[in-house]
């Protein structure tokens, strides 16, 4: 602790938050990331907040993440690999005290273990039901979110976060069934029957036979 820390008190821990987008942004979970940031902020100052999305993320979803002060990281490869690499890079950052991950994937356990080896605290934001016990036991700090309760409170379990659904717009349009009623093509009415006028000629009269 430095001299200024002793005068003004211990500095607030600095947090690097990483969100596993394809694993979290689902309409079945219906998670509000604004509430997540509030809960994470109770443990320190969020110095960086990144959310990892794949190439199927819609423009509306990306814009919503930016509006909530998240830095979208779009990747055409494996999202888990990109997120794990960038989270590991922050382990050696002296300005970061806590590595925070929001995920349901146990593939990130090695990154959490490495952070602990370098003296960093680890934080996991988990979602019930179905959260991994291994992830629960790895993190120093655990924040649990019950997705079922969130959906019931909102009363809109069929909607995704911010009114969007994770997926490419063109794909959603192709999957949308065609509900418009198709009427059979109209056939032109037959032409009116032409009335043929027949002229009746009087019967021919034969001259009388001379006797």
Instruction: Quick: pLDDT tens for 110-158.
Output: 999 999 999 999 999 988 777 888 888 999 999 998 765 544 444 443 3
> φ, ψ for residue 110 (rounded to 5)?
-60, -35
Q: What is the mean pLDDT of residues 102-114?
A: 91
Mean pLDDT of the chain: 75
5, 13, 23, 97, 140 from 8: Cα distances, Å? 5, 14, 41, 19, 26
Which H or E run contains 15?
Answer: strand 14-20
The answer to whether 123 and 43 have CB atoms below 8 angstroms apart is: yes
Q: What span, in angstroms and rounded, lies between the C-alpha atoms of 84 and 101?
A: 10
Q: Is residue 84 over pLDDT 80?
A: yes
Q: What is the mean pLDDT of residues 78-95?
A: 94
* Domains of the chain with bracketed CATH: 12-174 (3.40.50.1010)
What is 22-59 written as a DSSP string? HHH--TTT---HHHHHHHHHTTSEEEEEEEEEETT--H
The pTM assigned to this predicted structure is: 0.66
């Amino acid at each position: 602790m430095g001299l200024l820390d002793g005068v003004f008190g211990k500095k607030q821990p600095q947090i690097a938050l990483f969100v596993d987008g394809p694993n979290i942004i689902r309409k079945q979970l219906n998670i509000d990331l604004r509430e997540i940031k509030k809960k994470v902020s109770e443990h320190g100052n969020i110095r960086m907040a990144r959310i990892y999305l794949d190439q199927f993320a819609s423009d509306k979803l990306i814009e919503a993440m930016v509006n909530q002060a998240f830095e979208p990281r779009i990747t055409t490869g494996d999202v888990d690999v990109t997120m794990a690499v960038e989270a590991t890079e922050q382990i050696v950052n002296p300005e970061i005290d806590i590595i925070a991950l929001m995920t349901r994937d146990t593939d990130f356990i090695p990154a959490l273990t490495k952070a602990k080896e370098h003296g960093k605290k680890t934080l996991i934001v988990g979602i019930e039901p179905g959260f991994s016990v291994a992830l629960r036991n790895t993190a120093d700090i655990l924040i649990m979110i019950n997705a079922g309760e969130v959906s019931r409170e909102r009363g809109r379990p069929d909607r995704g976060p911010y009114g969007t659904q994770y997926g490419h717009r063109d794909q959603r349009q192709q999957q949308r069934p065609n509900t418009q009623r198709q009427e059979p093509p109209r056939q032109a009415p037959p032409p009116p029957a032409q009335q043929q006028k027949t002229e009746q000629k009087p019967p021919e009269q034969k001259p009388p036979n001379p006797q």
